[in-house]
């Protein structure tokens, strides 16, 4: 439930990072746990990294006897299987956790208690929209990166709200992408600047080792969630509910 005691929600660079810091400190333990969980959920991808470098394969002593052929054949099948599992995990499971985590940060900005059930709620509802939206944004940004990088950066900035809109308003992938493009009109440079500064925030976090990285991640995530919510308010797409008045 939203109350009258709200944060300073103005769609600007300073307000986003300033309010983002306040949101982070007000919900530190919950958001700290969120970034830890999300970090752990990303870890399985490391098990699917297979080294295909030629110098790792002993072809100099490969004499094409049956034993060698079956051994290298088994390695090839295992590598292909692990690669397939990695792709399935990346595109069919990870987006649900990632999108749910983003919505938890929006809840914090709205002074709602971040609900950990949000991390897995996408498996019960809205699953297809989450998967397709993530695939759509990944494909569009990837195509843009191939086209001399700059178009990819522009597309990434303009589609920055897609995940929030899928989770927050239940839009399908096309609607979410189109709505994000509309909402970020005039915000592109601000989003780019926030992302650019986020790079240095993460660098500062790395200098402070493990805890610093987590705090940096929390701050960046709350700041982007703050900007999203601020834009919704500015566009009149989110109404702050008045606090109920107690009866005498």
- Counted domains in the chain: 1
Q: Kindly state whether residue 18 falls inside one of the protein's structural domains.
A: yes
Which has more confidence, 86 or 36? 36
Q: Kindly state whether residue 205 falls inside one of the protein's structural domains.
A: yes
| pLDDT tens-digit map of 73-87 | 677 788 888 888 888
**Does position 3 have pLDDT exceeding 50, yes or no?**
no
Q: Kindly state whether residue 42 falls inside one of the protein's structural domains.
A: yes
| pLDDT tens-digit map of 139-196 | 999 999 998 899 999 999 999 999 999 999 999 999 999 999 999 999 999 999 999 9
Q: What is the DSSP letter of 46?
A: G
Q: Kindly state whether residue 248 falls inside one of the protein's structural domains.
A: no
Q: Kindly state whether residue 104 falls inside one of the protein's structural domains.
A: yes
**Does position 58 have pLDDT exceeding 70, yes or no?**
no
Which whole-number Å values give the CA distances from 89 to 52, 84, 95, 163, in the listed order? 20, 9, 9, 18
Q: Kindly state whether residue 185 falls inside one of the protein's structural domains.
A: yes
CA distance 103 to 166: 10
Which has more confidence, 238 or 157? 157
Which whole-number Å values give the CA distances from 44 to 48, 86, 154, 166, 203, in the listed order? 7, 8, 30, 25, 24
- The set of residues, in sequence order, having a beta carbon less than 8 Å from that of 35 and lying 6+ positions away, is 101, 214, 217, 218, 221
Residue range 77-98: average pLDDT?
A: 89
Determine the pLDDT at residue 240.
66
Give the domain extent around 129: 13-234
């Amino acid at each position: 439930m939203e109350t009258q005691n709200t944060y300073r929600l103005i769609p600007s660079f300073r307000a986003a990072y300033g309010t983002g810091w306040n949101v982070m400190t007000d919900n530190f333990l919950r958001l700290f746990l969120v970034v830890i969980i999300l970090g752990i959920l990303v870890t399985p991808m490391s098990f699917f990294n297979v080294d295909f470098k030629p110098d790792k394969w002993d072809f100099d002593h490969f004499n094409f006897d049956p034993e060698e052929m079956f051994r290298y054949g088994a390695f090839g099948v295992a590598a292909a299987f692990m690669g397939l599992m990695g792709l399935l995990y990346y595109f069919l499971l990870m987006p649900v956790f990632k999108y749910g985590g983003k919505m938890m940060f929006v809840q914090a900005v709205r002074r709602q208690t971040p609900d950990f059930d949000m991390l897995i709620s996408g498996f019960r509802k809205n699953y297809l929209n989450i998967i397709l939206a993530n695939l759509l944004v990944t494909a569009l940004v990837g195509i843009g990166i191939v086209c001399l990088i700059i178009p990819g950066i522009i597309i990434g900035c303009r589609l920055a709200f897609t995940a929030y809109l899928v989770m927050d308003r239940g839009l399908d992938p096309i609607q979410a992408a189109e709505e994000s493009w509309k909402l970020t009109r005039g915000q592109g440079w601000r989003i780019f600047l926030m992302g650019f500064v986020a790079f240095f925030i993460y660098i500062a976090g790395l200098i402070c080792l493990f805890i610093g990285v987590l705090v940096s991640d929390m701050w960046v995530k709350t700041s982007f969630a703050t900007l999203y919510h601020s834009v919704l308010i500015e566009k009149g797409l989110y109404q702050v509910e008045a606090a109920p008045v107690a009866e005498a």
